[in-house]
Amino acid sequence: MTLWRLRRLGRRFPPALRPALVATLGGERRVGVIAGDPAPWRALGASAARWEPAARYDLVVAAGPFDPAWGCSLAPGGRLLWRVPGRGLRTAAQHLVRAGWEVVGLWPRRWADGGPWVLARPAPRPPRPGAPRVKISYRATVGDLVALTAAVAAYRAAHPEVHLTIEVPHPEVFLGHPAVDAVAWTPQPDAAFERVHRLRLPIAAEDRGRSLQASAAAQLGVPLLDPRPVLRLFPWERAAAEWRFGRAAGRLVLVAPFSRWPSREWPRERWRALVATLRADGHDVWLVDRGDRPPLPGARDLGGATTLRELAALIERADLLVAVDSAAAHLAAATGTRAVVLFGPILARTRVVVPWVTGLQADTDCVGCWHDPSLPPPPRTCPRGHHRCLRDLDLARVLAVVRAALAAPQGAA
């Protein structure tokens, strides 16, 4: 179907639903790739040839919470985003899209007042004539991507002239990021690494002795100006979260006790005791980001149904977050919410980068095993089989720090 016919088809829609069609042709001019785990690609070495074909990045790729091959997402404020899969349009080098297109339709505002949302920038900023186009592809979890936002801001400060595209598995992290011109979605977490392998791009290894922000900035070759993550929440997102979840009866304490790594989790019975004590102190305790784990008795269960941005809006409203090392802890750093974070296999000093987040860690001799190069990364279970790094973190110590954080005046670090 030609571009002219697609535009003609768009005129048949009522004005409120009429889609705006954008098209792109070409491939990539410059690719900057930073990698979370360089182990599979060490054979490439620093001498691998750089690959810089001609390119354009003029599209936003929006992914909905449905079939990953087709994207359809409803953004508050009224934008319906469609993404047509480009499998039939790709060359053998899958990162080269010979022709791709996306429909961005405008729905009536009243239809966008609720529902599950995965958001992307409705229209990317067009590149300035002659501006170098740079894409950063980053395969990472939500927490690492939140940390990456600070490094991206540093890259923009060092290179104000470039047209910058971010390609990540969770594009909603970069919605509204002032340093980003366009956001692309990679449906397969390993897609960026497959491209690196095929094109023989050099990779900068992650430095585990630094914070995620500092390591990412070093991979990009720029100084880190500010370690605070950059996460922009819009007023309608805050209102939508309040409408969906309501207000707390007292001071709001969020607890996020779960992680993808069992080695990062504090014993469940201590979480139950912590929740009971906080409720006895008169606080309203909500359980967030639990996924498919069982709820905690005494805490209001929000389930695992919150989107990333809903979770960020909830954390921003809270008086305190108590969490393990997880995405929720990174969101607290981004939203300015006071947090107490329990660390085990990862050293707290490499994750706590802002004064309103307090990291707690036991005095066990084996803490920080993630930083041990002799162990296979990542230690999702305890390499020694005892999980003492978190079991030795006793309830009384955690409760004392939590109460002190709640007693501190608002705005105090």
φ/ψ (deg, to 5) at 27? -125, -125
Is the same domain home to 275 and 215? no
For 115: left if phi > 0, alpha if psi spans -120 to 50, otherwise beta; the answer is left
Query: In terms of residues, how long is the chain?
Result: 413
At 209 the pLDDT is 66
**Average pLDDT of the residues in 269-294:** 91
71 has a pLDDT exceeding 90: no
* Best CA proximity match to 313, nearest among 252, 402, 260: 252
**Residue 412: inside a domain:** no
Q: What angle do CA 215, 57, 78 make, to 5 degrees?
A: 95
**Residue 131: inside a domain:** yes
CA–CA gap between residue 12 and residue 33 (Å, rounded): 42
**Residue 230: inside a domain:** no
Q: What percent of the chain has pLDDT over 70?
A: 59
Q: Which residue has the higher pLDDT, 248 or 70?
A: 248
Of 186-200, 297-311, 333-347, where does the model show the most confidence? 333-347
* Best CA proximity match to 314, nearest among 337, 283, 294: 337
CA–CA gap between residue 80 and residue 71 (Å, rounded): 10
One-letter amino acid identity for 21? L
CA–CA gap between residue 83 and residue 101 (Å, rounded): 8
- For 373, other C-beta atoms within 10 Å of its C-beta total 7
Last residue of a domain, one of 159, 192, 220: 220
Last residue of a domain, one of 169, 190, 220: 220
Is the same domain home to 89 and 131? yes
Of 95-104, 179-188, 226-235, where does the model show the most confidence? 226-235
Q: Which residue has the higher pLDDT, 277 or 204?
A: 277
Is the same domain home to 82 and 139? yes
Tokens of 41: 């690609």
**Whole-number mean pLDDT of the chain?**
67
CA–CA gap between residue 80 and residue 65 (Å, rounded): 13
Which range is least confidently modeled, 28-32, 245-249, 322-326, 362-366? 28-32
Is the same domain home to 214 and 247? no
193 has a pLDDT exceeding 60: no
Is the same domain home to 102 and 245? no
Q: Is the separation of the CB atoms in 163 and 132 below 8 Å? A: yes
Q: What is the pTM of this model?
A: 0.68
291 has a pLDDT exceeding 90: no
At 353 the pLDDT is 86
For residue 323, give the 3-state DSSP assignment: strand
Domain containing 294 equals 235-407
**Average pLDDT of the residues in 311-337:** 94
Count Cβ atoms within 10 A of the Cβ of residue 94 and give its class: 0-12 exposed, 13-18 middle, 19 or more buried: middle
Tokens of 274: 């912590």
Is the same domain home to 77 and 120? yes
Is the same domain home to 293 and 239? yes
CA–CA gap between residue 42 and residue 205 (Å, rounded): 9
202 has a pLDDT exceeding 60: no
CA–CA gap between residue 348 and residue 367 (Å, rounded): 10
CATH number at residue 345: 3.40.50.2000
Last residue of a domain, one of 177, 192, 220: 220
Is the same domain home to 239 and 216? no
Q: Is the separation of the CB atoms in 192 and 186 below 8 Å? A: yes
**Residue 228: inside a domain:** no
At 78 the pLDDT is 33
pLDDT digits (tens, 9 = 90+) for 78-102: 334 443 433 333 333 333 333 333 3
Q: Is the separation of the CB atoms in 401 and 393 below 8 Å? A: no
**Residue 148: inside a domain:** yes
- For 58, other C-beta atoms within 10 Å of its C-beta total 21
**Residue 225: inside a domain:** no
Is the same domain home to 51 and 89? yes
Count of CA atoms in the C-beta half-sphere (13 A) of 27: 15
Tokens of 139: 């395969």
Number of separate domains in the chain: 2
**Residue 378: inside a domain:** yes
pLDDT digits (tens, 9 = 90+) for 330-386: 999 999 999 999 988 888 788 888 999 999 888 887 776 666 767 666 567 777 777
243 has a pLDDT exceeding 60: yes
Residues 6 or more apart in contact with residue 323 via CB below 8 angstroms: 254, 255, 256, 257, 329, 332, 339, 340, 341, 342
B/e letters for 188-227, b = 16+ CB within 10 Å, e = fewer, are: eeebbbebbeebebebbbbebeebbbbbbbbbbebebeeb
pLDDT digits (tens, 9 = 90+) for 115-140: 333 333 334 566 677 778 887 877 77
- Give the pLDDT band of residue 411 (cuts 50, 70, 90): low
Is the same domain home to 179 and 239? no
One-letter amino acid identity for 362? A
Which range is least confidently modeled, 271-280, 290-299, 365-374? 365-374
Q: Which residue has the higher pLDDT, 137 or 155?
A: 155
Is the same domain home to 74 and 127? yes
Q: What percent of the chain has pLDDT over 90?
A: 23
Is the same domain home to 186 and 43? yes
For residue 272, give the 3-state DSSP assignment: helix
**Residue 226: inside a domain:** no
